[in-house]
A and B are shown apart, each in its own frame.
Chain A
Amino acid sequence: MGTLSLRSFFKLVCVLTFLTCVFISLTLLSSCKRERPPWKVGFAGTLSGTFSELGVAGRNGAILKIEEVNKGGGVKGRPLELLIRDDKHDPKEAMRVDQELIEAGVVAIIGHMTSAMTLSVMPLVEEQKVLLISPTTSTPLLAKKNDLFIRVVGVSSEPAKEIAKLASQKGLKKVAVLLSKENKEYCVPYAEAFKVKLQEEGGDVIWVEEFGQEQRSIFSFLTEEILRKKPDAILIVASGTDTALLCQYIRMSNGMIPIFVSGWALTQDLLLHGGRSVEGVWTYEYFPFAAQDKAIEEFREKYKARFRIEPSFASVLAYDAVEVLVRGLKNAKEPITPNGLKEAILKIKRFESPSGAFELDQYGDAIIRYHFVTVENGRFVSSNP
């Protein structure tokens, strides 16, 4: 400092001041800096109307997981952004919203929530090359296919067979079936598998009644008619709300007949609208409803804290679907491609879920155990039949 003349020093100070000003100004101006672009993730499911039960619960599960991931710093330093679309349980709408999501640049779509919708968008998925990870599509029609479809749920025909075995064991040889034709892709294979197995077991499906939107106003006639066939038991393959209403009418006509329901029906709506009439219905499903299961209870707590309502199995499966995607994204090489992503996912052997760990087979179908489920005191209970 001593060798520097005062004049030179002042010059230096002026230059430094100028530079400081420029630096401060630039810093302030760039305060609204741009973050790294998020991973866009699509969610497509039925969120309104007749079959919105699975969609709403699934969407909430997906949101919960995405928020957790973002809170933990995202994936590879990038947050996830969930783009939610309602397919309104309309194949055309499903195609449209998927197209929209693909155009928005999603890395994958979590959805759809019913087999009918999933099957309807499969051509688009294959064509547009986007990975579809479904939480609840369990139709056997998509099983063992090397496509861009992954699901975290098992194939529905297996539980259907197990129900048939149970019916037989209980001596319920003559079973009438009520099935929803609006989700035929799920219901028909389910009823078929049941029928085949029941016949194997020495029983038979004595009556099959399909119903759609137009039959909803005559549910009471439908049930009366089916009861007139004097079945030993009735199997209902329908959504939770439909199953609930059908159970109500069955109980009004014949209080005692055993009722089997499909896994699709195991939503909160079955309990809300079924009341006492759904007490004691039986089914098998890829989801443990054991209340004492700590992981499920923890999931339930955080779900309720976030949404203030009870979760359903679709919430857990959607949560799992996002988990699968996130793990895949972490492992996949960039740039992310649908195939690359699927490959990365399939490389992962084991996934943790609140409902227990599961694996994916080479086609992207979950290998998962199913459980006996019944309704007791207004709650789903997993136990031995």
Chain B
Amino acid sequence: MKIRPSLKWIISFVLLVSSILPSIVLGIILIWVSGEVQRDEIENSSKVISKAVAIHLEHLVEHSKNTLQIIHDSMEYGALFMEVVPYIAKNTPNRSVIKSIKLLDQWKRIQVIYPLDMNKLGIDLSGLPYLKGLKEEEWVFSEVYSDPFSREPVVSLCKGIKRGYLCVDMDLEYLNRYVPSVIRPGSFELVLMDSNGLPIYHPDHRMVLERQSLANIINLQAPEQDIVHAPIVPLGEKYVGCLSLIRGTQWHLFVGQAEKKAFETMTKTQKAMLSLVFITALLASLAGFLFSRAITRPMEALKHMAEKVSRGDYGLPEGSKGYSEITEVLDAFRSMAHSIKEREERILEGQRRYKDLLENAVDPIIITDEKGEIVEVNRALFERGWREEEVIGHSVSEIAGISTSEFERIVQQLKEKGSFTFELKRVGRRGALTHYSVSARLIGGLGKEEIKIQFTFRDITEQKIAYDRARISEERYKEIYDSVQDLIYTQDLEGRILSANKALWNIFGYTQEQFVGRKVSEFMKPEYRQAFETEYLAQLKEKGFYEGISQYYTKDGRRIFIQYKSVLVTDKEGNKYISGIGRDVTEQFLAQKRLQQEEKRIRTMLQTVNVPIALYNQKGEILFINQAFTNTFGWTQEEAMGKVLPEMPESEKEKNREALKRLLRTGIGEFLETKRYTKSGQEVDVITNASIVVDPVTGSQSTVVVFHDITEFRKMERSLATAQRMEALGILAGGIAHNFNNLLMGITGNIQLLRMKLGRDHPEFKRFETIEKLIGDATSLTRQLVQFARGGKYEPRPTDLNRVIKEHDKIFATTRKEVLIQEELQEGLWPVECDTNQFKQVLMNLYINAVQAIEERASMHGLPQAGGIITVRTQNVILEALQLGRFQKEKGFYVKVSVSDNGKGMDEETKRKIFEPFFTTKEVGKGTGLGLASVYGIVKNHDGFIDVETKLGEGTTFHIYLPALEAETPKEEASAKEEAVVQGRGKILLVDDEKLVLDAAQEMLKELGYEVLAVDEPTEALQLFNEEKDNIDLVILDMVMPVKDGIQVLREMRLMNPKVKVLLASGYGIEPHMEELKEMGCTGVIQKPYKFSELSQVVGRMIKGLCEGGA
């Protein structure tokens, strides 16, 4: 139980707190505050005095230091100690503080002392600790120590100098006179101490003389903390003050005041305070006594009155006692007594009325005590056949059938709630089952009154029966409602579910309670919720119905589609609501959706397939074509729709018809190679494959045809055939050229020798020239042949073709002025690796061919030659594998050079044979048939390829593709070779199986001044080389020889002499061996037939040690 403080205690506590404690607390605070103020004042005063004294002392010390410094400086300038010291000592400020000045040697022995004292000279001061470790230019103050001569305390200031020390002994007597003279500290005392706390100045000088340690002051606080204050015992009694360090020394200055004196005022204040506290306490006690008397007397009178009221005597005496507050309390008491009296009367009246109500109530009322024993009943119970003696005093369980435990529970509930109603079923006295609504209520319990329970029994049997019937009917209706598989619902006008059958909330996965009351839009995707409001609800309100399929999400996240129909209904009361029925169509909906997607996918697939596909109806009209069809044939889906396309050449129609028949008959498709026309009328080679498609729904037939475009394949096929043929021709032409060259070589050599021997004056000299010219033509012819048959890429260099073309065109234009040359050259053309001369040959041949074509066209149509145009274009191109397929080249970067003419053009047959050697359309004698063949050979030899476009009567375009290089093109071509004949010396082994060539070359070399060993058989040559290997300067080897070719011979010679120099001569290309030759060292190459001058230069250079041909 909670303990409440009594009024007595509260009053006594308040008395203490309000009167005595404040005075005590106030007193203590005042004492404390005055103490703090006093302390602060002492501290501040101490600091001020301390600072003032410190400044004076610092000056004093500074003067001493200066004195030593001046002496030191003077000695540095050569002055003698005893010369300067007396003068300086006399003129220094505060000179009296200086007792003596000493100069010590490096062993700390006194060398000189001022004033002079012979006894002190030579005295060893090394035992003095302050001198230990003192370095040059360092200052130190000694502690206070006893001077061994005067036996008085002394302090020394020393400075380390070169090879010794300078010291000043300070006069403490003087200091003890000086310090009190600088300041009159009033009640404060000053003490000056060294770092050990030994006094330097003390008001009691005995302390200095007796070296009384004041270390306890310094020990109070670390000296580096400038100001401290604490009670100390330096002067025989407790002092309070502050301690400071004198700058430039280790001296401590204490400034303080005797505690007794310092706190005298405070002690007086304390006493006054205590007296005040004492008096206050006395007065408070007296006041308390009087107060208690004034309070307690009226309180006792009140106590008597209260006792009277409690006895029921409300006649309280009139009149007032004591103070107004007490009178007010008495009045309140009287008023209270009157009120109690009135309330009692009202209670009695209330009880009477209650009794009347009880008696006149229609429903039986039973009142029991807390144990369930009936204490009172009303008349209504007697009217129901009960007699008083059967009821009063009996247990309520007997009369009302409420068991004891049930009664206890009722009582418990009533104590918590006060009243409640419950139902009771009971067979009445007349044997009928009766339903009661029993109202239980707690009455009484006020003060000492006992608790009673009032039961009011109302017969509700009839209402109960009616209610049960209604309930059964509703349940049946509900069962029907829930058994329907369709989804039935009602909604309010905001779409909130008012009711739903079981099928509906089941499908959503909720219980009825969870489902009803929610908005249908909650089960929709958030983006559809707006539509629910704007479309569904709006239309229902406007038109009165709405039907559709909507997508919802069930509780477990499943997506469902519901087809529904909702109508707006108005009930009898005029309330509007929505009623509807729906069906789960998820399966059907999704199946349809899948079907649509499938169709879309197939359509997309057909569109993306790179093979033309078309779907035809039974009439052969197009129903569908894919993009590849459009790409190949040109018609779009819209254009092709309903038409019979693509058209085919007349010649192919029969073949196609037959194939269609077979297909319709057998139902099996077949590959058919045929032709079709594109939209632009171009003929396309195709392989078709058709199949029949039957619509499973309608049963109608349609035909799917797949077209494989093989046009390019056919072209490639043709190109390959041409290439193979060209290859064979090349080998043939190469062989002829080799032999022919050897013959020409022999002839040339002999002719040239004859010419040299006969001289210019010979009458037949001109003929020789003619023969030579003819041989030159023959050589040119064979060179072209060689070029065709992979002739020779002699000087390949990174080349800018634009430059070559411009150079060529410039010369060509001067020779063929009737033809206009148009240049369309791309800037920044990639370089190619190319032999410039050979490429110029290519251009020349193509241009000549073009000019001839233009001429022929002109003559055919009777047109003037002028107006012929040759267009040369250059272009950087990147070619894909597909485009290169028929040329068997790798994809990559190429430079394309196109030479077009507006000549007569070619037919297909001519076009196919145009690069074959000796094929010509010109009349005999006008062309060799080797021009384009050599173009073909040169381009091929440059790893390029050539293509031709031609249309009869319109002109021809040759496209040359050469692989592009990454390297920059050199700006300048190599300078032209010299034509001069160079004489030389040395031994040359000449090897050639052709006797003609051998002899001619031997003669030429001899003519040039060389010693020649000529051999026509490789084995013999090797044998000879072995014998003469050290003497042979150069070997000239024919590349093509029976038994062993030049390369093989070269290898064997290298084995015998790795440094051998070999010039390979060949009428055929040596390009395939170029890499190998480079690896073999110093090797030269010369093209047969070679000129005399050319041979002389190459041989000359090689013998000199310069390698040829890049090897």
CA distance A350 to B124 in the complex (A): 43
B134 interface residue (CB < 8 Å to A): no
Contact of B215 among A241, A275, A307 (CB under 8 A): A307
Tell me, rounded to whole Å, the shortest Cβ–Cβ distance linking A14 to chain B.
4
Select B299's contact among A6, A21, A29, A271, beta carbons within 8 Å.
Answer: A6
Q: What would 13 A/B residue contacts be, using CB atoms closer than 8 Å?
A: A6-B296, A16-B12, A25-B278, A47-B210, A48-B206, A48-B209, A53-B146, A59-B212, A84-B210, A219-B119, A241-B151, A307-B213, A308-B197
Q: Quick one: which of B7, B219, B289 has the most chain A CB within 10 A?
A: B289
Task: Answer yes or no: B790 CB below 8 A from chain A CBs.
Answer: no
Q: Using an 8 Å CB-CB cutoff, how does the interface string of A212-244 with B read, 1 for contact, 0 for none?
A: 000011011000000000000000000001001
B813 at the interface (CB under 8 A from A): no
Given known pairs A18-B281, A18-B282, A309-B213, the reply for A13 and B24 (CB within 8 Å) is: no
* In the complex, chain B residues whose CB is within 8 Å of the CB of A269: 146, 148
| Further contacts, 8 of them, CB under 8 A, given A17-B285, A47-B212 | A17-B20, A20-B20, A24-B20, A49-B209, A50-B151, A52-B210, A276-B127, A306-B216
Given A1-B8, A56-B210, A276-B124; A24-B143 close (CB under 8 Å): no
Give me the 6 closest cross-chain CB pairs, A-B, nearest first. A10-B292, A21-B281, A275-B124, A47-B210, A308-B196, A48-B209
If the complex has contacts A17-B20, A217-B119, A272-B128, are A9 and B8 also in contact, measured as CB distance less than 8 A? yes
Q: A11-B292, A306-B216 known; A24 and B281 CB under 8 Å?
A: yes
Question: Is A245 engaged at the interface, CB distance under 8 Å to the other chain?
Answer: yes
**B residues less than 8 Å from A277 (CB atoms):** 124
Which residues does chain A contribute within 8 Å of B296, judged by CB atoms? 5-7, 10
**Structural contact, A10 and B293, CB atoms closer than 8 A:** yes
> Given contacts A18-B282, A60-B213, is CB(A271)–CB(B289) below 8 Å?
no
User: Contacts of A220 on B, CB cut-off 8 Å?
Assistant: 118-119
For the side of the interface on B, what is the size category? 35 or more
How far does the Cβ of A15 sit from chain B's closest Cβ, in whole Å?
A: 8
Interface assignment of B386: CB less than 8 Å from any CB of chain A:
no
A28 contacts partner chain B, Cβ-Cβ < 8 Å: yes
B292 touching A248 by the CB < 8 A rule? Answer: no
Q: Interface code A258-298, partner B: CB below 8 Å = 1, 0 otherwise?
A: 00000000000101111111100000000000000000000
Cβ of B262 to closest chain A Cβ, rounded Å: 16
Within 8 A of B (CB), among A50-74: 50, 52-53, 55-56, 59-60, 63
**A305: interface (CB < 8 Å):** yes
If A6-B296, A24-B277, A217-B119 touch, whether A244 touches B148 (CB-CB below 8 Å) is yes
Complexed CA–CA distance, A193 and B406 (Å): 125
Of the candidates A17, A49, A309, the one having the most CB atoms from chain B within 10 angstroms of its own CB is: A17
Interfacial chain B residues near A1, Cβ < 8 Å: 6, 8
Q: How far is the CB of A359 from chain B (nearest CB, A)?
A: 31
**B289: which of A11, A245, A308 is its contact (CB, 8 Å)?**
A11
B20 pairs with A245, CB closer than 8 A:
no
A residues near B124, Cβ cutoff 8 Å? 248, 251, 274-277
With A56-B210, A307-B213 as known contacts, state yes or no: A7 contacts B196, CB within 8 Å: no
Q: Mark B90-131, 1 if CB is under 8 A from A, else 0.
A: 000000000000000001100000000011001111111100
Chain A interface size band reads: 35 or more
**Assembled-state Cα–Cα distance A18/B292 (Å):** 15
Total of A-B residue pairs, C-beta within 8 Å: 170
Q: Nearest Cβ distance between residue B614 and chain A, in whole angstroms?
A: 117
B145 within 8 A of A: yes
Picked from B129, B274, B282, the residue with its CB within 8 Å of the CB of A28 is B274
Query: Is A252 among interface residues, defined by CB-CB distance under 8 A?
Result: yes
Given the known A-B contacts A7-B292, A272-B128, are A21 and B149 also in contact in the complex, defined by CB atoms under 8 Å?
A: no
- Is B15 an interface position by the 8 A CB rule? yes
Whether A17 pairs with B274 at a CB distance below 8 angstroms is no
Q: How far apart sit A63 and B233, CA to CA, in the bound complex (Å)? A: 13
Asked whether B148 lies within 8 Å of A241 as measured between CB atoms, the reply is yes
Q: Is the CB of A7 within 8 A of B293?
A: yes
Q: Are A25 and B215 in contact (CB under 8 A)?
A: no
Question: Within 8 Å CB of B771, what residues of A?
Answer: none
- Given A60-B213, A219-B119; A20-B281 close (CB under 8 Å): yes
CB of A98 within 8 Å of the partner chain: no
Is B433 engaged at the interface, CB distance under 8 Å to the other chain? no
Chain B residues contacting A323 (CB-CB under 8 Å) are: none
Residues of B within 8 A of A217 (CB): 119
- The yes or no answer to B135 lying at the interface (CB within 8 A) is no
Asked if B642 is at the interface (CB within 8 A of a chain A CB), the reply is: no
Contacts of B289 in A (CB 8 A): 10-11, 14
- Check: A86 CB closer than 8 A to any chain B CB: yes
| B211 and A47 contacting across the interface, CB-CB below 8 Å | yes
Cα separation A17 to B284 with both chains bound (whole Å) = 8
